[in-house]
Amino acid sequence: MTIKALRVMLNQAEELYRSAGDEKAAATLREFGSILAAYDAKTVDAFVKLAAKADM
Amino acid sequence: MAIRELLAILEQLGRLYAAGGAKTAEKDLAKIVECLTPHVSEPLEAFAAKLHSASVPLGPAKRKELPAADEAIVDQCINRLTEAGTDQNTFEQAFALVSKDARIRLKEADAIARKFTRQHTAFKTKKAALLAIRHAFVERARFENKLKVVS
Which domain, by its residues, includes B19?
Answer: 3-55
**DSSP-assigned letters across all residues of B25-64:** HHHHHHHHHHHHGGGTTSBHHHHHHHHHHHHS---SPPPP
- The strand pairing partners of B2, in sequence order, are B43
Q: For position B60, what pLDDT does the model report?
A: 58
Q: For position A5, what pLDDT does the model report?
A: 93
Interface predicted TM-score (ipTM) = 0.91
Pairwise pLDDT comparison (B11 vs B149), residue with the higher score: B11
Q: For position B62, what pLDDT does the model report?
A: 56
CA nearest A37: which of A27, A29, A45?
Answer: A29
Distance, CA of A34 to chain centre? 7
Q: Do A39 and B44 touch (CB under 8 A)?
A: no
Residue numbers in A near B23 (CB within 8 A): none
Top residue of A18, A42, A44, A47 to mutate, by most chain B CBs within 10 Å, is: A44
Question: Do B87 and B51 sit in the same domain of this protein?
Answer: no
With respect to residue B29, please indicate whether it lies within any of the assigned structural domains. yes
Q: Do B44 and A35 touch (CB under 8 A)?
A: yes
Q: For position B112, what pLDDT does the model report?
A: 92
Count of Cβ atoms closer than 10 Å to residue B26 Cβ? 18
Question: Do B101 and B142 sit in the same domain of this protein?
Answer: yes
Q: For position B58, what pLDDT does the model report?
A: 55
Give tens-digit pLDDT for B118-149.
888 889 999 999 999 999 999 888 888 888 77
Top residue of A18, A23, A28 to mutate, by most chain B CBs within 10 Å, is: A28
Q: What angle do the packed helices B106-117 and B71-83 form, to 10 degrees?
A: 40
CA nearest A39: which of A24, A18, A54, A27?
Answer: A54
Residue numbers in B near A55 (CB within 8 A): 38, 50
Residue numbers in B near A51 (CB within 8 A): 35-36, 51, 54
Give me the residues of chain A with pLDDT under 70, please.
56
Give the number of domains in chain B.
2
Task: Say if residues B4 and B42 touch (Cβ distance below 8 Å).
Answer: no
With respect to residue B17, please indicate whether it lies within any of the assigned structural domains. yes
Give tens-digit pLDDT for B45-95.
888 888 888 877 655 555 555 668 888 989 999 999 989 888 889 999 999
With respect to residue B64, please indicate whether it lies within any of the assigned structural domains. no
Question: Do B41 and B81 sit in the same domain of this protein?
Answer: no
With respect to residue B9, please indicate whether it lies within any of the assigned structural domains. yes
Helix (H, G, I), strand (E, B) or coil at B125: coil
Residue numbers in B near A50 (CB within 8 A): 51, 54-55
With respect to residue B63, please indicate whether it lies within any of the assigned structural domains. no
Q: Is B25 on the interface with A (CB under 8 A)?
A: yes
Q: For position B64, what pLDDT does the model report?
A: 58
With respect to residue B46, please indicate whether it lies within any of the assigned structural domains. yes
